[in-house]
Amino acid sequence: MSSTPFQIEANPAPVDANARTRLLADPGFGKLFTDHMAMIRWSDTRGWHDAKITARGPLMLDPATAVLHYAQEIFEGLKAYRLSDGGTALFRPQENARRFRESAQRMAMPELPDDLFIGSLEALVAADRDWIPELEGGSLYLRPFMFASEVFLGVKPASEYLYLVIASPAGAYFKSGAKAVTIWVSDHYTRAAPGGTGAAKCGGNYAASLVAQAEAIKQGCDQVVFLDAAERRWVEELGGMNLFFVFDDGSIVTPPLTGTILPGITRDAIITLARDQGMTVREEPYAMDQWEADAQSGRLVETFACGTAAVVTPVGQVKSRDGGFTIGSGGPGQVTEALKARLTAIQRGEAPDPHGWVHRFG
C-alpha cells in the first residue's frame, strides 16, 4: 500500500447493496459508476495537496476554467480485478503511472508522483471494492484524469490543476458481443502526425477520432483504423487500440512506436508474452496494401486489436471505400485466443506471474 495519506470522506448516501447487486448483474461498459472518487489538487504555490477519497458527484466549474478553452487534459485507463483467492489487484499500475507522467510532460502539465497515482487507485478501490462485478470477465475500470482548473483566459500552461479518479464496473466492451470485429479504414481522417500528441493519452486525440469512428459505424463496422498522416499508407492503430498481425510462419508484426501511436500497456504485455512462448515479434511498419495482399494470399492468418478496455479482440473483416477483405476464417484465431487466455489468467491471479505485473493490495 502507498504511504500517501488520503483523507476518507465516506459517501453519506451510497447505493443500496441490493440495488448494487442488480446493477452488477449486467454492468456493460462505462455506464455505471461507484460511490466514491479520488481527488488531489495542484497549484504552482502549494504543489500537490488535499488528497482525499470523497463522494462521487458533479464538479462546479467556472465558465472560464482553462480546460474548457485550451483542452489541457490527460487521462489513463486500467482495471482492478477480484482474484481467484479473494484478493484484489491492479495490472501493471506502475506503467500507467509512467505514461501519465509522460502525457503530462507533453501537455505542459505537472507530473503526478507515482506513489500518489498508485495510492489514489488503491484508496478508491478499497472504498468501492464491493463494486467489482463477480460475473465472468468482470472488473472495475478505473479512469484517472487531470485537467487545467485555473480560471483564466490566456494561452499558457495553467497554474492550477485537478486530478481525479472515478471507477466504473465493467463487463463486455463491445455491445455486439461479436467473436471478431469489423473495422473501417479511414481514407480521409488521420489520428496523429509526427511532432503531435499521438503518444500522449489526451482527450484531443480521441475527440479527433470520433468523426472517423462515426463513419465506421455508418458503414456497419465496429471500429476505425487510421493510417499514417504523411503517406496515408502505413497502418497505425484503431481509435483506441493497438494492432497486431499474425502470419502463417508463426511470426507477429505490430506497428512501431515512433511518436504517433499510443504506447499501449496491453500492447507491451502481448509482445512480452508472445516472445516468452518463442514467437518472433517484429515492431515494424506494415502497409495497408500489404495487409490486404497478405490476407488474400493466406500469408496473414490473424489480426487482433488490444487495449485495457477490450483486452484482446480478434479482427475478422476490414472494409474500405475500395471494397474489403476477410482475415483467415473471419473469426478468432488460435494465436489470438491463446495470448488472450494467457494474459487474462495472469491478470486474475490464475496463472504464474513471472514478470511481476500483478499489483496485489488490500
pLDDT tens-digit series, residues 167-209:
999 986 655 555 899 999 999 999 999 999 999 999 999 999 9
pLDDT tens-digit series, residues 96-148:
999 999 999 999 999 999 999 999 999 999 999 999 998 888 999 999 999 99
Whether the CB-CB separation of 36 and 166 falls below 8 Å is answered with no
1 pLDDT above the threshold of 70: no
> What is the model's pLDDT at position 174?
57
Contact residues for 231 (Cβ-Cβ < 8 A; gap 6+)? none
Whether the CB-CB separation of 131 and 20 falls below 8 Å is answered with yes
Active-site residue set? 201
Q: C-alpha grid cell for residue 3?
A: 504511504
Residue 323 Ramachandran class (φ > 0 left, ψ -120 to 50 alpha, else beta) = left
Which DSSP symbol is given to 351?
S
The gap from C-alpha 104 to its chain's centroid, in whole angstroms, comes to 16
Instruction: Provide the sign of the torsion angle of the four alpha carbons 70, 76, 77, 81, taken in this order.
Output: negative
Confidence (pTM): 0.94
> What is the model's pLDDT at position 4?
58
d(CA 53, CA 48): 15
d(CA 124, CA 1): 12
Instruction: Provide the sign of the torsion angle of the four alpha carbons 137, 362, 53, 2, taken in this order.
Output: negative
pLDDT tens-digit series, residues 258-304:
999 999 999 999 999 999 999 999 999 999 999 999 999 999 999 99
Mean pLDDT across 21-31: 94
84 pLDDT above the threshold of 90: no
